[in-house]
Chain A
Protein backbone atom coordinates (compact mmCIF):
# COMPACT_ATOMS: atom_id res chain seq x y z
CA UNK A 1 0.00 0.00 0.00
CA UNK A 2 1.31 3.44 -0.92
CA UNK A 3 1.11 6.06 1.79
CA UNK A 4 2.09 9.73 1.80
CA UNK A 5 3.48 11.93 4.58
CA UNK A 6 4.23 15.67 4.40
CA UNK A 7 7.90 16.09 5.38
CA UNK A 8 10.31 18.97 5.92
CA UNK A 9 13.30 17.56 4.04
CA UNK A 10 14.19 14.91 1.47
CA UNK A 11 15.69 12.57 4.04
CA UNK A 12 14.31 9.64 6.04
CA UNK A 13 15.62 11.29 9.21
CA UNK A 14 13.50 14.41 8.62
CA UNK A 15 10.42 15.49 10.54
CA UNK A 16 6.77 15.28 9.65
CA UNK A 17 5.79 18.74 8.36
CA UNK A 18 3.19 20.61 10.43
CA UNK A 19 1.40 21.73 7.26
CA UNK A 20 -0.17 19.51 4.64
CA UNK A 21 -0.90 22.00 1.84
CA UNK A 22 2.34 23.93 2.19
CA UNK A 23 4.74 21.13 3.04
CA UNK A 24 7.89 21.35 0.91
CA UNK A 25 7.93 17.59 0.16
CA UNK A 26 5.86 14.46 0.39
CA UNK A 27 7.39 11.15 1.33
CA UNK A 28 5.69 8.43 -0.68
CA UNK A 29 6.25 5.13 1.09
CA UNK A 30 5.28 1.69 -0.15
CA UNK A 31 4.51 -0.53 2.84
CA UNK A 32 5.03 -3.73 0.80
CA UNK A 33 8.23 -2.98 -1.14
CA UNK A 34 9.47 -0.63 1.63
CA UNK A 35 10.48 1.79 -1.09
CA UNK A 36 10.47 5.50 -0.39
CA UNK A 37 10.30 8.35 -2.86
CA UNK A 38 10.34 12.09 -2.13
CA UNK A 39 8.00 14.23 -4.13
CA UNK A 40 8.27 18.01 -4.48
CA UNK A 41 5.08 19.75 -3.44
CA UNK A 42 4.49 22.27 -6.22
CA UNK A 43 1.58 23.72 -4.22
CA UNK A 44 3.91 25.16 -1.58
CA UNK A 45 4.26 28.55 -3.30
CA UNK A 46 0.61 28.90 -4.36
CA UNK A 47 -1.01 32.21 -3.54
CA UNK A 48 -4.17 30.35 -2.63
CA UNK A 49 -5.74 26.92 -2.66
CA UNK A 50 -2.49 25.17 -1.74
CA UNK A 51 -4.38 22.42 0.06
CA UNK A 52 -6.46 21.65 -3.02
CA UNK A 53 -3.41 21.46 -5.25
CA UNK A 54 -1.42 19.39 -2.77
CA UNK A 55 -4.36 17.00 -2.45
CA UNK A 56 -4.53 16.75 -6.23
CA UNK A 57 -0.84 15.73 -6.25
CA UNK A 58 -1.57 13.02 -3.65
CA UNK A 59 -4.54 11.76 -5.66
CA UNK A 60 -2.50 11.68 -8.87
CA UNK A 61 0.21 9.63 -7.13
CA UNK A 62 -2.26 6.79 -6.43
CA UNK A 63 -1.87 7.08 -2.69
CA UNK A 64 -4.18 5.02 -0.50
CA UNK A 65 -3.55 6.70 2.84
CA UNK A 66 -2.23 10.05 4.02
CA UNK A 67 -0.46 10.44 7.35
CA UNK A 68 -0.57 14.06 8.49
CA UNK A 69 -0.81 16.00 11.75
CA UNK A 70 -3.61 18.13 10.34
CA UNK A 71 -5.52 18.95 7.20
CA UNK A 72 -7.69 21.82 5.99
CA UNK A 73 -11.28 21.57 4.80
CA UNK A 74 -10.70 22.02 1.07
CA UNK A 75 -7.90 19.47 0.94
CA UNK A 76 -10.01 17.05 2.97
CA UNK A 77 -12.86 17.43 0.48
CA UNK A 78 -10.55 16.46 -2.39
CA UNK A 79 -9.05 13.53 -0.50
CA UNK A 80 -12.48 12.28 0.57
CA UNK A 81 -13.74 12.46 -3.00
CA UNK A 82 -10.81 10.25 -3.96
CA UNK A 83 -11.44 7.83 -1.05
CA UNK A 84 -8.02 8.47 0.43
CA UNK A 85 -7.95 7.73 4.14
CA UNK A 86 -6.37 10.33 6.44
CA UNK A 87 -4.55 9.30 9.60
CA UNK A 88 -3.38 11.63 12.32
CA UNK A 89 0.32 11.53 13.11
CA UNK A 90 1.21 11.99 16.76
CA UNK A 91 4.99 12.24 16.56
CA UNK A 92 7.43 14.31 14.52
CA UNK A 93 9.38 11.18 13.60
CA UNK A 94 8.65 9.96 10.10
CA UNK A 95 9.84 6.45 10.90
CA UNK A 96 7.73 6.17 14.05
CA UNK A 97 4.70 7.44 12.13
CA UNK A 98 5.15 4.75 9.49
CA UNK A 99 5.63 2.08 12.16
CA UNK A 100 2.53 3.26 13.99
CA UNK A 101 0.55 3.12 10.76
CA UNK A 102 1.71 -0.43 10.04
CA UNK A 103 0.94 -1.43 13.63
CA UNK A 104 -2.52 0.09 13.08
CA UNK A 105 -2.24 2.34 16.12
CA UNK A 106 -2.87 5.60 14.25
CA UNK A 107 -6.39 6.95 14.46
CA UNK A 108 -8.26 8.50 11.58
CA UNK A 109 -7.92 12.28 11.28
CA UNK A 110 -11.31 13.73 11.99
CA UNK A 111 -10.57 17.22 13.32
CA UNK A 112 -10.48 18.91 9.94
CA UNK A 113 -9.79 22.63 10.37
CA UNK A 114 -11.23 25.49 8.34
CA UNK A 115 -7.91 26.24 6.67
CA UNK A 116 -5.47 29.10 7.09
CA UNK A 117 -6.58 30.84 3.91
CA UNK A 118 -4.26 33.66 3.11
CA UNK A 119 -2.69 33.69 6.55
CA UNK A 120 1.03 33.74 6.95
CA UNK A 121 2.76 30.86 8.69
CA UNK A 122 1.30 27.54 9.60
Chain B
Protein backbone atom coordinates (compact mmCIF):
# COMPACT_ATOMS: atom_id res chain seq x y z
CA UNK B 1 0.00 0.00 0.00
CA UNK B 2 1.48 3.30 -1.10
CA UNK B 3 0.31 6.48 0.59
CA UNK B 4 1.43 9.83 -0.80
CA UNK B 5 1.37 12.93 1.37
CA UNK B 6 1.11 16.22 -0.45
CA UNK B 7 0.24 19.88 -0.03
CA UNK B 8 0.13 22.99 -2.14
CA UNK B 9 3.06 24.65 -0.46
CA UNK B 10 6.03 23.91 1.76
CA UNK B 11 5.76 24.15 5.53
CA UNK B 12 2.20 22.85 5.70
CA UNK B 13 3.12 19.64 7.45
CA UNK B 14 3.77 16.95 4.82
CA UNK B 15 6.92 15.75 6.50
CA UNK B 16 5.32 15.88 9.97
CA UNK B 17 2.45 13.70 8.77
CA UNK B 18 4.43 11.25 6.64
CA UNK B 19 7.27 10.77 9.12
CA UNK B 20 4.87 10.12 11.99
CA UNK B 21 2.67 7.80 9.93
CA UNK B 22 5.71 5.74 8.94
CA UNK B 23 6.86 5.67 12.58
CA UNK B 24 3.55 4.31 13.89
CA UNK B 25 3.23 1.84 11.00
CA UNK B 26 6.28 0.07 12.49
CA UNK B 27 7.69 -2.00 9.63
CA UNK B 28 7.33 0.41 6.76
CA UNK B 29 9.08 2.42 4.10
CA UNK B 30 9.42 6.18 4.02
CA UNK B 31 10.42 7.82 0.75
CA UNK B 32 11.40 11.48 0.70
CA UNK B 33 10.59 12.68 -2.82
CA UNK B 34 11.15 16.32 -1.93
CA UNK B 35 14.51 16.02 -3.67
CA UNK B 36 15.21 19.74 -3.73
CA UNK B 37 15.03 20.01 0.04
CA UNK B 38 14.71 16.57 1.63
CA UNK B 39 14.30 16.79 5.39
CA UNK B 40 12.69 13.50 6.45
CA UNK B 41 16.10 12.03 7.20
CA UNK B 42 16.65 14.75 9.83
CA UNK B 43 13.80 13.19 11.81
CA UNK B 44 14.62 9.53 11.20
CA UNK B 45 18.40 9.93 11.54
CA UNK B 46 18.84 6.68 9.60
CA UNK B 47 21.83 4.40 10.09
CA UNK B 48 23.63 2.05 7.68
CA UNK B 49 23.17 4.61 4.95
CA UNK B 50 23.96 3.42 1.46
CA UNK B 51 24.33 5.88 -1.33
CA UNK B 52 23.82 5.61 -5.05
CA UNK B 53 24.52 8.22 -7.70
CA UNK B 54 21.71 9.13 -10.06
CA UNK B 55 22.46 10.24 -13.57
CA UNK B 56 20.50 11.06 -16.70
CA UNK B 57 21.35 10.55 -20.33
CA UNK B 58 21.94 13.64 -22.41
CA UNK B 59 23.08 13.97 -26.00
CA UNK B 60 26.58 14.79 -27.13
CA UNK B 61 27.41 15.73 -30.70
CA UNK B 62 30.11 14.64 -33.08
CA UNK B 63 30.42 17.81 -35.16
CA UNK B 64 32.35 15.88 -37.84
CA UNK B 65 29.26 13.81 -38.56
CA UNK B 66 26.65 16.56 -38.12
CA UNK B 67 25.61 17.99 -41.47
CA UNK B 68 23.37 20.71 -40.05
CA UNK B 69 20.01 19.25 -41.08
CA UNK B 70 18.55 20.67 -37.84
CA UNK B 71 16.08 17.84 -37.37
CA UNK B 72 17.11 17.72 -33.70
CA UNK B 73 16.84 21.50 -33.25
CA UNK B 74 13.34 21.57 -34.73
CA UNK B 75 12.25 18.52 -32.77
CA UNK B 76 13.32 19.61 -29.27
CA UNK B 77 10.28 21.07 -27.53
CA UNK B 78 12.51 22.47 -24.80
CA UNK B 79 14.89 24.21 -27.22
CA UNK B 80 17.90 22.48 -25.73
CA UNK B 81 19.71 22.55 -29.07
CA UNK B 82 20.78 25.38 -31.36
CA UNK B 83 22.67 25.30 -34.64
CA UNK B 84 25.09 28.22 -34.88
CA UNK B 85 27.86 28.78 -37.41
CA UNK B 86 27.95 25.19 -38.67
CA UNK B 87 28.04 23.86 -35.13
CA UNK B 88 25.44 22.23 -32.95
CA UNK B 89 25.26 23.63 -29.41
CA UNK B 90 23.64 21.55 -26.67
CA UNK B 91 22.28 23.17 -23.51
CA UNK B 92 22.63 20.35 -21.02
CA UNK B 93 20.61 21.98 -18.27
CA UNK B 94 17.62 22.49 -20.59
CA UNK B 95 17.63 18.89 -21.85
CA UNK B 96 14.87 16.65 -20.45
CA UNK B 97 16.63 13.44 -21.51
CA UNK B 98 13.86 12.27 -23.82
CA UNK B 99 16.39 10.89 -26.29
CA UNK B 100 14.35 12.04 -29.29
CA UNK B 101 17.18 13.98 -30.91
CA UNK B 102 19.44 10.94 -30.79
CA UNK B 103 16.78 8.74 -32.39
CA UNK B 104 16.04 11.30 -35.10
CA UNK B 105 19.56 12.16 -36.19
CA UNK B 106 19.99 10.74 -39.71
CA UNK B 107 23.78 11.10 -39.54
CA UNK B 108 24.12 9.34 -36.18
CA UNK B 109 26.04 12.39 -34.99
CA UNK B 110 24.34 12.39 -31.59
CA UNK B 111 25.15 9.86 -28.89
CA UNK B 112 24.21 9.49 -25.24
CA UNK B 113 26.37 10.49 -22.36
CA UNK B 114 25.73 10.21 -18.64
CA UNK B 115 25.40 13.29 -16.50
CA UNK B 116 25.16 13.03 -12.71
CA UNK B 117 22.29 15.04 -11.23
CA UNK B 118 22.16 13.84 -7.66
CA UNK B 119 21.95 10.81 -5.43
CA UNK B 120 19.70 8.43 -3.59
CA UNK B 121 20.26 7.32 0.01
CA UNK B 122 18.84 4.33 1.81
CA UNK B 123 19.07 3.78 5.52
CA UNK B 124 17.27 2.26 8.50
CA UNK B 125 15.58 3.94 11.44
CA UNK B 126 14.08 1.42 13.89
CA UNK B 127 11.85 -0.62 11.59
CA UNK B 128 11.45 2.08 8.97
CA UNK B 129 13.46 1.91 5.75
CA UNK B 130 14.24 5.49 4.87
CA UNK B 131 14.85 6.53 1.27
CA UNK B 132 16.04 10.03 0.48
CA UNK B 133 16.48 11.63 -2.93
CA UNK B 134 18.92 14.50 -3.20
CA UNK B 135 19.08 16.66 -6.30
CA UNK B 136 22.33 18.51 -6.92
CA UNK B 137 22.07 22.28 -6.55
CA UNK B 138 21.42 23.96 -9.87
CA UNK B 139 19.95 20.92 -11.59
CA UNK B 140 16.63 21.59 -13.26
CA UNK B 141 14.59 18.46 -12.65
CA UNK B 142 14.51 15.79 -9.97
CA UNK B 143 12.12 13.52 -11.89
CA UNK B 144 14.80 10.90 -12.60
CA UNK B 145 15.69 10.66 -8.91
CA UNK B 146 12.03 10.24 -7.94
CA UNK B 147 11.58 7.55 -10.59
CA UNK B 148 14.55 5.70 -9.18
CA UNK B 149 13.32 6.07 -5.58
CA UNK B 150 9.91 4.66 -6.46
CA UNK B 151 11.07 1.86 -8.76
CA UNK B 152 13.15 0.47 -5.90
CA UNK B 153 10.01 -0.07 -3.90
CA UNK B 154 7.86 -1.90 -6.40
CA UNK B 155 8.64 -5.36 -5.06
CA UNK B 156 7.42 -4.91 -1.48
CA UNK B 157 3.85 -6.17 -1.40
CA UNK B 158 1.77 -5.47 1.67
CA UNK B 159 4.25 -3.32 3.56
CA UNK B 160 3.17 0.27 3.89
CA UNK B 161 5.05 2.91 1.98
CA UNK B 162 4.76 6.61 2.75
CA UNK B 163 5.74 9.04 0.03
CA UNK B 164 6.67 12.51 1.25
CA UNK B 165 5.99 14.60 -1.86
CA UNK B 166 7.59 17.84 -2.99
CA UNK B 167 5.42 20.92 -2.39
CA UNK B 168 3.08 22.23 -5.07
CA UNK B 169 1.40 20.40 -7.92
CA UNK B 170 4.01 20.44 -10.69
CA UNK B 171 5.25 17.45 -12.69
CA UNK B 172 7.63 16.46 -9.91
CA UNK B 173 4.58 15.93 -7.64
CA UNK B 174 2.71 14.06 -10.37
CA UNK B 175 5.67 11.70 -10.67
CA UNK B 176 5.60 11.14 -6.90
CA UNK B 177 1.90 10.25 -6.68
CA UNK B 178 1.61 8.34 -9.97
CA UNK B 179 1.66 4.90 -8.37
CA UNK B 180 0.17 5.85 -5.00
CA UNK B 181 -2.91 3.97 -3.79
CA UNK B 182 -4.09 6.84 -1.66
CA UNK B 183 -3.28 10.53 -1.25
CA UNK B 184 -3.26 12.44 2.02
CA UNK B 185 -3.59 16.18 1.46
CA UNK B 186 -2.34 18.39 4.27
CA UNK B 187 -3.94 21.82 4.66
CA UNK B 188 -3.53 24.92 6.80
CA UNK B 189 -6.56 26.73 8.28
CA UNK B 190 -6.18 29.93 6.27
CA UNK B 191 -7.50 31.33 2.99
CA UNK B 192 -4.04 30.88 1.55
CA UNK B 193 -4.21 27.32 2.81
CA UNK B 194 -7.43 26.81 0.89
CA UNK B 195 -5.80 28.05 -2.29
CA UNK B 196 -2.93 25.59 -1.83
CA UNK B 197 -5.28 22.78 -0.93
CA UNK B 198 -7.31 23.47 -4.05
CA UNK B 199 -4.19 23.03 -6.20
CA UNK B 200 -3.50 19.53 -4.93
CA UNK B 201 -7.21 18.72 -4.82
CA UNK B 202 -7.43 19.46 -8.55
CA UNK B 203 -4.36 17.31 -9.09
CA UNK B 204 -5.56 14.20 -7.26
CA UNK B 205 -8.94 14.49 -9.00
CA UNK B 206 -7.15 14.65 -12.35
CA UNK B 207 -5.18 11.53 -11.43
CA UNK B 208 -8.35 9.88 -10.16
CA UNK B 209 -6.73 9.01 -6.83
CA UNK B 210 -8.70 8.35 -3.67
CA UNK B 211 -7.78 10.99 -1.12
CA UNK B 212 -8.56 12.62 2.19
CA UNK B 213 -7.46 15.75 4.03
CA UNK B 214 -5.51 16.26 7.22
CA UNK B 215 -6.28 19.69 8.66
CA UNK B 216 -3.09 20.83 10.32
CA UNK B 217 -2.50 23.66 12.80
CA UNK B 218 -6.16 23.81 13.78
CA UNK B 219 -7.18 26.57 16.19
CA UNK B 220 -10.54 27.54 17.69
CA UNK B 221 -12.70 29.57 15.38
CA UNK B 222 -13.25 29.51 11.67
CA UNK B 223 -11.24 27.11 9.53
CA UNK B 224 -11.50 28.01 5.84
CA UNK B 225 -9.81 24.74 4.83
CA UNK B 226 -12.42 22.77 6.76
CA UNK B 227 -15.17 24.79 5.14
CA UNK B 228 -13.69 24.00 1.74
CA UNK B 229 -13.70 20.27 2.55
CA UNK B 230 -17.32 20.37 3.72
CA UNK B 231 -18.41 22.26 0.61
CA UNK B 232 -16.64 19.87 -1.74
CA UNK B 233 -17.64 16.84 0.28
CA UNK B 234 -14.02 15.87 0.92
CA UNK B 235 -13.24 13.36 3.62
CA UNK B 236 -11.46 14.92 6.61
CA UNK B 237 -9.13 12.28 7.99
CA UNK B 238 -7.84 14.17 11.02
CA UNK B 239 -7.62 17.54 12.67
CA UNK B 240 -4.17 18.16 14.10
CA UNK B 241 -4.14 20.93 16.70
CA UNK B 242 -1.96 24.03 16.62
CA UNK B 243 -0.01 22.77 19.54
CA UNK B 244 3.17 24.10 21.13
CA UNK B 245 4.43 20.70 22.23
CA UNK B 246 4.00 19.18 18.78
CA UNK B 247 5.59 22.24 17.20
CA UNK B 248 8.52 22.06 19.57
CA UNK B 249 9.12 18.35 19.03
CA UNK B 250 8.92 18.84 15.29
CA UNK B 251 11.25 21.86 15.31
CA UNK B 252 13.78 19.81 17.22
CA UNK B 253 13.61 17.16 14.48
CA UNK B 254 11.97 14.65 16.81
CA UNK B 255 9.34 12.21 15.66
CA UNK B 256 6.43 13.11 17.93
CA UNK B 257 4.87 9.63 17.75
CA UNK B 258 8.11 8.08 19.00
CA UNK B 259 8.38 10.60 21.84
CA UNK B 260 5.01 10.65 23.57
CA UNK B 261 2.06 8.29 23.92
CA UNK B 262 -0.32 11.13 23.13
CA UNK B 263 1.06 11.67 19.64
CA UNK B 264 1.55 7.98 19.07
CA UNK B 265 -2.19 7.62 19.65
CA UNK B 266 -3.05 10.53 17.37
CA UNK B 267 -0.99 9.27 14.43
CA UNK B 268 -2.02 5.64 14.98
CA UNK B 269 -5.63 6.65 14.71
CA UNK B 270 -4.85 8.63 11.56
CA UNK B 271 -3.13 5.58 10.10
CA UNK B 272 -6.13 3.41 10.94
CA UNK B 273 -8.44 5.91 9.26
CA UNK B 274 -6.26 5.96 6.15
CA UNK B 275 -6.12 2.16 6.04
CA UNK B 276 -9.91 1.97 6.35
CA UNK B 277 -10.30 4.50 3.56
CA UNK B 278 -7.95 2.56 1.28
CA UNK B 279 -9.84 -0.67 1.96
CA UNK B 280 -13.12 1.08 1.35
CA UNK B 281 -11.80 2.45 -1.95
CA UNK B 282 -10.56 -0.97 -3.01
CA UNK B 283 -13.89 -2.65 -2.30
CA UNK B 284 -16.02 0.03 -3.93
CA UNK B 285 -13.82 0.13 -7.00
CA UNK B 286 -13.50 -3.61 -7.54
Contact = CB atoms under 8 A, between A and B. Distances in A.
A78 B89 contact: yes
Contacts of A59: 82, 84-85
Nearest to A50: B79
A61 interface: no
B78 A81 contact: no
A50 B94 CA distance: 11
Contact of A48 (B73, B83, B85, B94): B94
A52 interface: yes
Contacts of B192: none
A47 B84 contact: no
A23 interface: no
Given A78-B89, A81-B89, A49 B84 contact: no
A interface, over-half SS: helix
Contact of B79 (A48, A81, A82): A48
A49 B89 contact: no
Contacts of B79: 43, 46, 48-50, 52-53, 56
B interface, over-half SS: loop
A76 to B, nearest CB: 12
A83 B86 CA distance: 13
B61 interface: no
Contact of B87 (A50, A56, A81): A81
B77 A52 contact: no
A49 B78 contact: yes
Given A43-B79, A49-B80, A56 B85 contact: no
B91 interface: yes
Contacts of B80: 49, 52
Interface residues of A, number: 18
Contacts of A47: 77-78
Please indicate which of the listed interface residues B80, B82, B87 has the most CB atoms of chain A within 10 Å of its own CB: B82
A51 to B, nearest CB: 8
B143 to A, nearest CB: 14
Please indicate which of the listed interface residues A46, A47, A52, A117 has the most CB atoms of chain B within 10 Å of its own CB: A52
Interface in B66-113: 73, 76-80, 82-85, 87, 89, 91, 94
25 contacts: A43-B79, A46-B78, A47-B77, A48-B79, A48-B94, A49-B76, A49-B79, A49-B80, A49-B94, A50-B79, A52-B80, A52-B82, A55-B82, A56-B73, A56-B83, A59-B84, A59-B85, A74-B91, A77-B91, A78-B89, A81-B85, A81-B87, A82-B85, A83-B85, A117-B140
Interface of A: 43, 46-50, 52-53, 55-56, 59, 74, 77-78, 81-83, 117
